[in-house]
Chain A
Amino acid sequence: MAEKLKYDRGTLLSIFKTDRAEDFAALVVALAIVVLVVLFVPR
């Protein structure tokens, strides 16, 4: 209940509602970094 009062979105430990949403966000972040590294850093 206290959690609901403090944040009406996400949980106490995460800004995302579910672990899976957080997983996908992390995947997007990681893949974005991979693309940037491959594009801008020579092998």
Chain B
Amino acid sequence: MIYTKKSPWVLIIGVIMAGYAFLVQQGVLTGLMKMLHTSGHAGEMVTMGYIFGVIGIVVGLWQLVATPKEGSLDYYLSTVGGALLVLLCVFIVKYGAEPVFKLWGKASDAAIGWNFQTTLGLNYILLGIIVGMIVVNVFKIPAWAENGVRLSRLGLKSGVILLGALYSAAELRNLGGLSVVLIGFFVLGSVGMVLWLGRLRNIPNSMGGVLSAGMGVCGVSAAVASAPVVQAKSTEIAYTIGTILLWGVLMMFIFPPVGRALGMGYIQFGAWAGTGILNSAQVAAAALIYQPTGIETLKVAEIFNITRILFLPIIVIWLAVWYVQREAGAQKVNVGRVIFEKFPVFVLGFLLLFALSTTGIFAPAQHYKGKYFDNAIKESKLLTSEETSLLQSELGKVQREDQKAALERLIQNRKAMSIDHDTVLRGLANAKVLSKDANHVLKKAHSAVYHTAKRVKWFRTLIVWFFAFGLTGLGMQITFSSIKQAGGQPLFIGTVVGLTKAVGALIVIMLFVRETI
């Protein structure tokens, strides 16, 4: 069977991407990029544009000139067209659609006080899936691209493996026993409940498996990581993502007023949001809605959110064993053999990269989300006398004693002296008590002592690309007709489990969590 379908489009996409990179490099698009606030991605656009563009031009020319012969060369080279089509969509979504939606969201926030872009989570991931679905359902995948679209799962798996590089031992130490116990109980409980309800409602094992991971752990990444283990179909992944996003958005609105009505403290609310809200983005949003004048709630919520993500490998192992046992019917299954034969190697890859990360090979061991504190800085990075004078003149505006003391310490030393010191200063900046210029000085002081781990930054960029590629390609495998066949069971089960988890977490936290952990 010959897989290469001769078409000029591979070459054309290659030329478009390389041309775009060239225009960015020459500064032709600077005005447009400033307007869209994408100037910070210029280097990425040039690098990715040239890499994909050159591949497209070389393979496109080869496919036009050469006569394909049946074999591996034809098979693998024929995937380039589809991969480039997906990547072109990612380019459009990441550097076009998402920035435009962000601008529209800000405009709607100014006009009606509601930023629909952040609320609905219209980021590159969701938009990529939507674009993929539009391509397949409205235009159909062209024959020359069909083979390459099947690379999307490979992209997702590579992305999940690379995720392991983002964690550090320092982050693990920060987690604390409470978050592990609380999250462990609710993650395992949610997964078990979805699987139990799925059996009662007679949904396919693959649907129950992928939904349980999405509901139990942290949404899209968990659904994607578990999908191959339970052999989930694209429609089942789409239903899971839809259920999670729907619940995430609803809870983001419901949690803050409930928290205020119950008089919850920052730690209690952060713990509740990080446990009960399904999706990471909405966890952060709910925490910031609850405490817009500081970051204490957000920090607690993020600790709980990270703990939840760390449960992913355990859930995948559970689902791997569960799925094979269920699929094997009444026959006894040798669990050891199942794990050996069916265990997803990409999860081991995730663990391998996590292990490598803890050695400090990618970033200093104390890094947190790719940034690390180091205040041994040059004289030029210290605050100037004008800047400290400005802060001194606004000292009277600060009411909180801890923030006042931190500001005085900053004025005295001209730099943040510790992680805790910097945290209090960031809370002060976030509270917007001081003038815009003074807040700018605080941000400068923070930037001076926090350094980005370059390797982690690269990993984060590449992971974004792998996920964007995989999810856009996934969208191209979702047809409306196949979604109709899936039925409304996932939403029902998601509703029951989501509510149980939110209410259960609230009760446990109100009973057992105090304001000091």
Q: Mark A residues whose CB is within 8 Å of B.
A: 7-16, 19-20, 22-27, 29-31, 33-34, 37-38, 41-43
Contact = CB atoms under 8 A, between A and B. Distances in A.
Interface stretch (B108-116, B158-166, B486-494): B158-166
B243 interface: no
Q: Across chains A and B, which 6 residue pairs bring their CB atoms closest together, nearest first?
A: A26-B157, A23-B345, A30-B161, A29-B158, A26-B158, A27-B349
Contacts of A11: 150
B41 interface: no
B455 A41 contact: yes
A22 to B, nearest CB: 6
Interface in B153-190: 153-154, 157-158, 160-162, 165
A26 to B, nearest CB: 4
A37 B477 CA distance: 32
Interface in B347-380: 348-349, 353, 356, 361-364
Interface in B7-64: none
A8 B160 CA distance: 28
Nearest to B474: A13
Contact of A13 (B150, B158, B353): B150
27 contacts: A7-B147, A7-B150, A9-B1, A10-B150, A14-B154, A15-B151, A16-B154, A19-B344, A22-B154, A23-B344, A23-B346, A25-B154, A26-B160, A26-B161, A27-B161, A27-B348, A27-B349, A30-B161, A30-B349, A33-B158, A34-B162, A37-B362, A41-B455, A42-B454, A43-B363, A43-B364, A43-B454
Contact of A27 (B1, B345, B453, B458): B345
Interface string B459-479: 100100000000000000100
B353 A30 contact: yes
B259 interface: no
Contacts of B76: 15
B455 A43 contact: yes
A36 to B, nearest CB: 9
Contacts, number: 87
Contact of B345 (A8, A24, A29): A24
B75 A9 contact: yes
A2 to B, nearest CB: 13
Contacts of B344: 19, 23
Given A30-B162, A38-B361, A42-B454, A23 B151 contact: no
Contacts of B454: 41-43
A8 B182 CA distance: 48
Given A7-B150, A19-B231, 8 more contacts: A23-B346, A30-B353, A33-B162, A34-B353, A37-B458, A38-B455, A42-B454, A42-B455
B455 A15 contact: no
Contacts of B79: 15
Contacts of A16: 154
B69 to A, nearest CB: 15
A7 B147 CA distance: 8
B459 A37 contact: yes
A11 to B, nearest CB: 8
B228 interface: yes
A43 to B, nearest CB: 6
Nearest to A11: B150
A22 B154 CA distance: 6
B234 interface: yes
Contacts of B157: 22-23, 26
A27 B159 CA distance: 10
A12 B147 CA distance: 9
A26 B353 CA distance: 13
